[in-house]
Structure 1
């Protein structure tokens, strides 16, 4: 039996655009606070606000985009997001907020387009490959940012590179032939739903809530790795943490996606959450380089694969004309977990230390397993078949 085609020109172009968007996000995330302090003599707290306000913008962008996709389609929505991203504003805080909105719009649109153009029989595999574009960007972006900061005109290079990448995104998107008709939903049908359902997809909420908890659990690693590694005298090994993390995801993602398409989400999700918990436990007790890097591999296989499977589930349980809302719902809750995690955990760290925080995250992940079973797992095949 002939397989449905996966690697189309449009799939590659949209994945490449997502790679550049994520790369620009992480490139600026690790450098913008330093820029605010150096160029504007901002306080540490103000510099932190410049960095974190991006997340607020992204949440606003995602909230608006799901509804916009239903009305004007994914193609026009992505044009708006990419065009918005290419515009630079003089005021730094306003710029970061608007940039966050732009990335929220554009990345939600790219995720929705991928869900729309993938064949149903290979959706898990396809979204798995697509999400690798973001994984690669999360490894390359910070690395590139730290290198450019060492240059004499580092900030000029960073902002110039963002402008160039934005224009490349627009140019490549112009080459794509994406013909996705607007959803054929009558005004009467749309009016039936609540006000909330016009911005959020209720069917995607259960798996998205689990993603919020798992994103919250991972956020501590993302934000406090450098401080924790320095405290443990593992700074040298920590520079390879995200490289190992990215490699194991790249190697495992193709298999996990195919497995989900063949046998449902549970066969991947339960082991992924257990491995994530084991990785976090090892991370919390790391005293040598090999322990830290092994924890990176376990977290990569666990958290990395859960993330793509959960995103696929959010789409699969939803009717095609609401794919945009499902994608934005997933990312709103996932980003919220990543965004509030460092803020809340930052208050606790001075009283408990990093090890206690990460042990607490192990309990959080383990709690998510029965919660996933109750919210989605026990009806996984039934829900996906009914969609």
Structure 2
């Protein structure tokens, strides 16, 4: 007789998910709008516009190296408070950034704070989600990230194009102000069965950890390259193609993610990541190609739906795969590597695609960006087929069932 499933929607899980939503919404409201502000108000070049995104991503990566260590020693309260406070300070600094140099320095500060907080929240979530419902739980938790990735740019662009830059920063700052007391309450109200990780030696050499996470990290990096192109240049593409309501892409994208996320978690738990990564790659390729040929607001709808289905199913699959590959005490490191590969992909994407846009139109740039998910599809399919042949000798696979 099957055991009843353990409860997923606890108060701590709901609060964690809300905190993560606020954190990523605050990020996404500025991630897609600051390049527009830098070009229009600070006369930034294409290279400097790329740095607005890539410097943030690289500083977040460096910050997570510290954050993962702190998580292993139980320093969650410090990470959340310090991380959110630095983000709030950086957003305040954006308002006083009269030159591109000051703006870039504030982006580094924001990246440091974001790297801390974005490591703490998902690790705490993976600690309280029942093992048998890990795919489903991380799918719902990851929905907050994907919703923010879609709704945040929509809100940010609407504020920038409407009330202006000051209102954009006010809205962004409010998300972090609300987050501070929520995060404090969260760390004081963990369930009774929650245990902070002990500061003891972790099992096995670190080389084993990196070997387990190498493939999903690489796949996540490739997935994030195209997303970097959306964050860095979609608003500028809208100006080039005379698409007045380009922000609707993020709205339609969010709708697709809301629909696919609950289903994708259950698919992962039953069939493994292969059932999501292979078709998801095809959806993303299709979405990018449709976007590159869009000539009206109506044409954004199928492009955004395709991209949302692909991204909304693949990202939580990769994160859950990484979490399930390591010892529970190493989940902070696994989550740090997940977000580092995401941010590195965004940084690489903005730099490479920004260089492509120097010599081509943004439409052509988005066609080139489809090569990243194509490479992801080929790489994962190859790994999956090779390990499938070894199934009888090596036991259950982590790359698919």
Could you tell me the TM-score, scaled by structure 2's length?
0.82
1:151 aligns with 2:153: no
Post-superposition Cα deviations, 1:274-330, rounded to whole Å, max 9, x if no partner, equal: 222222222233334433210110111012211111111111111212111111111
Conserved? CA contact 2:86–2:110, under 8 Å: yes
**One of 86, 90, 115 as aligned partner of 1:104:** 115
* Counterpart-to-counterpart distance in 2, 1:293 and 1:156: 28
Single out whichever of 45-54 and 293-302 deviates more from structure 2.
Answer: 45-54
1:44 aligns with 2:44: yes
- 1:1-387 equivalences under 5 Å are 1=2, 2-32=4-34, 42-45=42-45, 49-50=51-52, 52-72=54-74, 74=76, 77-87=79-89, 93-149=104-160, 150-151=162-163, 154=167, 157-158=170-171, 160-162=173-175, 164-174=177-187, 176-178=189-191, 180-183=194-197, 186-187=200-201, 193=205, 201-236=210-245, 238-375=246-383, 379=387, 382-384=396-398
Conserved? CA contact 1:63–1:328, under 8 Å: yes
Conserved? CA contact 1:54–1:100, under 8 Å: yes
Q: What value does the CA root-mean-square deviation take over the aligned residues? A: 3.2
How far the C-alpha of 1:74 sits from its partner, in A, is 4.2
Gaps of 5+ in 2: 94-101, 389-394
Conserved? CA contact 2:240–2:362, under 8 Å: no
Conserved? CA contact 2:32–2:232, under 8 Å: no
Counterparts in 2 of 1:65 and 1:147: CA distance versus 1, 3 Å: same
* Counterpart-to-counterpart distance in 2, 1:51 and 1:280: 20
Q: What is the number of equivalent residue pairs in this alignment?
A: 378
Could you tell me the TM-score, scaled by structure 1's length?
0.85
Conserved? CA contact 2:87–2:110, under 8 Å: yes
Gaps of 5+ in 1: none
Single out whichever of 44-53 and 343-352 deviates more from structure 2.
Answer: 44-53
Post-superposition Cα deviations, 1:337-356, rounded to whole Å, max 9, x if no partner, equal: 11121211111223233333
Single out whichever of 72-81 and 85-94 deviates more from structure 2.
Answer: 85-94
* Counterpart-to-counterpart distance in 1, 2:335 and 2:215: 13
Single out whichever of 324-333 and 370-379 deviates more from structure 2.
Answer: 370-379
Post-superposition Cα deviations, 1:27-53, rounded to whole Å, max 9, x if no partner, equal: 233455677789xx7451467645543
How far the C-alpha of 1:265 sits from its partner, in A, is 1.2
